[in-house]
Structure 1
Amino acid sequence: MSKIVEIVSALEQKIAKMLHKIKQLEAKNEDLERKLDQSILLLKTQEEEKNSLQKELEHIKMASALLGSEEYKRDTKLKINSLIREIDYCIAQLSQ
């Protein structure tokens, strides 16, 4: 009977250790999930900021070209030609 008590006692200790380890892992998992959520939010914010800055750069390039800057004149001409083609296409669609 003493042998069974020892086995049960050892088993209880192992179970207690396992439960403690599970709680530690759950806490670590929650921490990692929180950090992941923060990283995802930061990534989205940075992506939005990048897009905003790209749009601002395009506007600056356009304004610079319109003010006579040689550097972006070609880009502006291409953009204007593209817009003219779109307008012509729309007019053609309306005419049909």
Structure 2
Amino acid sequence: MGSQQNIIATLEANIEQLLERYEFLQKENQILSNSNFVLQQSNKGLEDEILFYKEQLQVLKIAKTIGGSEGYKKDTKAKIDFLVAEIDQCIKELNT
């Protein structure tokens, strides 16, 4: 009989340890889930900020091209004229 009681006591102790471990892991999972959410929000904010700065960089590049040397101005005007001509050609083709 004593041996069965020892087995039962060991099983009860193991079950108790498993339950404690389960509760600990649940809490840890919740903490990690919360941390993950915060990091995702931070990442989204940083991605938005990167996009904003990329747009600002593009605006600065355009401004530099327009406000640059006479050679840049001529190149820019030539590009704009070319694009306008292409658009005019497309409009003509659409109207025919």
Tell me if TM exceeds 0.5: yes
C-alpha distance in 2 between matches for 1:19 and 1:65: 68
Amino acid at match of 1:15: I
Q: What is the alpha-carbon root mean square deviation over aligned residues?
A: 2.8
C-alpha distance in 1 between matches for 2:74 and 2:26: 59
C-alpha distance in 2 between matches for 1:54 and 1:78: 25
State the number of aligned residues.
Answer: 95
Structure 1 match to 2:34: 34
Percent pairwise identity: 34
Structure 2 match to 1:13: 13
Following superposition, the deviation at residue 69 of structure 1 comes to 4.6
User: Taking CA–CA contacts closer than 8 Å with sequence separation of 6 or more, which of the two structures ends up with the larger relative contact order?
Assistant: 1
Following superposition, the deviation at residue 55 of structure 1 comes to 0.6
Q: Is the 8 A contact 1:65 1:76 kept in 2?
A: yes
Q: Is the 8 A contact 2:67 2:73 kept in 1?
A: no
Structure 1 match to 2:68: 68
Structure 1 match to 2:53: 53
Q: Which runs of 5+ in 2 are unaligned?
A: none
The change in CA–CA distance for 1:40 and 1:33 in structure 2 (over 3 A counts) is same
C-alpha distance in 1 between matches for 2:56 and 2:93: 32
Amino acid at match of 2:51: N
TM-score normalized by the length of structure 1: 0.75
Following superposition, the deviation at residue 40 of structure 1 comes to 1.4
Q: Which has a greater percent of helix? A: 2
